């Protein structure tokens, strides 16, 4: 799709997919081991350990990388994608070893769930489907937050129908509703688990105290919150809360809306149809300031012999063994590239060097550290 190169840098930049083909010379099948014998040897000082390409979110085993299915529905960064093409892409991801697929009723709305349901129905028992609730849809359009128990019970029925399944493996509260006690939300999902309609409970963009309150009613399997080399607010009490409570962490925006792939430069601009036009880290001043992060990513990617996207995902994977990023894409080439991150080894010494370099860069347009203590 031409939109994928719409804002890329000029001729001086090798696009990430071109680097993948020209410089790396391998396929996703080689990145994503499916047996112990297929896994590459690992440096003993490497933090990233992913036997068989699997990780655990609480007790829920999933592939080390998931597939985010938001952008397939359109309305965020690109137009809605052809259903047939997206079904094929999702099924190809399964063939490549991906077992974790992330969607939500609000994506489209409803379109992403329909695509995921159509794609995964033939292999439902082989995969983990995560979806989300928490909004209302007057006249089929996204409205405000609504997590009242009766609305959740209504939402699950619609999601089950669109996903062509009898259960949802991981059902997230998409955003905390300030008008509904989170204990009521957790209790409602607990009832859905007892009824066999949901297997695991998740929350998204919740503050530590909210996480604790919900977890006390129904154990939380995973928290989904933005986290990347640029957006690190989760390090201010959120990740430590997850670790204490045994909750897995699912970063959305792991390559920061494409920025960490090297797709944009300081002169990139976005029209109003592109959600980045309203994101503070994509203003002209922020883009200029944040090039220092991208330079760091490019330097380390070159050292490791991988693409910037692969390095950025590998850095996340190396932070904790219970972190499972869900990069989204509508392109097979990007899917295959992303999966290469699981075999990138980063030693403890390398991670310390990266962290030291990051500490010297002032990033613009990101969340304030104290925002971690507030539901988003």
User: What's the rounded Cα separation, in Å, for the pair 312 and 262?
Assistant: 11
Active site residue 107: yes
Distance CA 201, CA 218 (A): 7
Beta bridge partners of 248: 222
Q: Which helix (H) or strand (E) holds 60?
A: strand 60-63
Rounded-to-integer distance, Cα 78 and Cα 222, Å = 28
Rg, Å, the chain Cα set: 20
Please pick, among 77, 107, 171, 227, the residue that the annotation labels catalytic: 107
DSSP string, 307-344: -HHHHHHHHHHHH-TTB----B-S-HHHHHHHHGGGG-
Distance CA 221, CA 190 (A): 12
Number of CB atoms found within 10 A of residue 291's CB: 16
State residue 221 phi and psi, 5-degree precision: -85, -40
Q: How many CB atoms lie within 10 A of CB 269?
A: 13
Q: For residue 185, what are the contacts with CB-CB under 8 A and spacing of at least 6?
A: 147, 149, 152, 173, 177, 214
Q: Active-site residues: which are they? A: 107
């Amino acid at each position: 799709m031409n939109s994928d190169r719409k804002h890329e840098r000029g001729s001086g930049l090798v696009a990430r997919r071109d680097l993948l083909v020209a410089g790396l010379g391998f396929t996703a099948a080689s990145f994503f081991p499916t047996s112990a014998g297929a896994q590459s040897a690992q440096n003993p000082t490497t933090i990233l350990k992913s036997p068989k390409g699997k990780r655990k979110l609480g007790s829920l085993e999933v592939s080390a990388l998931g597939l985010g299915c938001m952008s397939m529905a359109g309305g965020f960064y690109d137009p809605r994608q052809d259903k047939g093409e997206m079904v094929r892409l999702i099924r190809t991801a399964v063939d490549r070893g991906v077992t974790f697929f992330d969607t939500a009723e609000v994506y489209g709305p409803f379109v992403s769930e329909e695509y995921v349901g159509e794609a995964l129905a033939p292999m439902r028992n082989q995969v983990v489907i995560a979806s989300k609730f928490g909004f209302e849809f007057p006249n089929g359009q996204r409205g405000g937050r609504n997590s009242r128990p009766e609305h959740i019970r209504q939402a699950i029925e619609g999601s089950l129908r669109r996903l062509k399944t009898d259960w949802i493996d991981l059902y997230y509260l998409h955003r905390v509703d300030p008008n509904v006690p989170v204990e009521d939300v957790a209790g409602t999902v607990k009832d859905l688990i007892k009824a066999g309609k949901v297997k695991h409970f998740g929350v998204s963009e919740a503050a530590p105290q909210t996480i604790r309150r919900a977890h006390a009613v129904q154990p939380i399997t995973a928290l989904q919150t933005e986290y990347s080399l640029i957006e690190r607010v989760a390090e201010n009490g959120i990740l430590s809360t997850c670790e204490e409570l045994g909750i897995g962490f699912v970063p959305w925006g792991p390559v920061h809306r494409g920025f960490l792939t090297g797709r944009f430069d300081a002169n990139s601009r976005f029209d109003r149809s592109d959600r980045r036009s309203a994101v503070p880290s994509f203003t002209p001043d922020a883009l200029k300031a944040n090039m220092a992060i991208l330079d760091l990513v490019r330097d380390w990617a070159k050292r490791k012999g991988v693409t910037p996207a692969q390095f950025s995902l590998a850095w996340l994977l190396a932070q904790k063994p219970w972190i499972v990023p869900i990069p989204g894409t509508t392109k097979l080439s990007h899917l295959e590239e992303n999966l290469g991150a699981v075999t990138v080894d980063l030693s403890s010494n390398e991670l310390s060097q990266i962290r030291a370099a990051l500490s010297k860069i002032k990033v613009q347009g990101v969340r304030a550290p104290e925002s971690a203590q507030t539901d988003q």
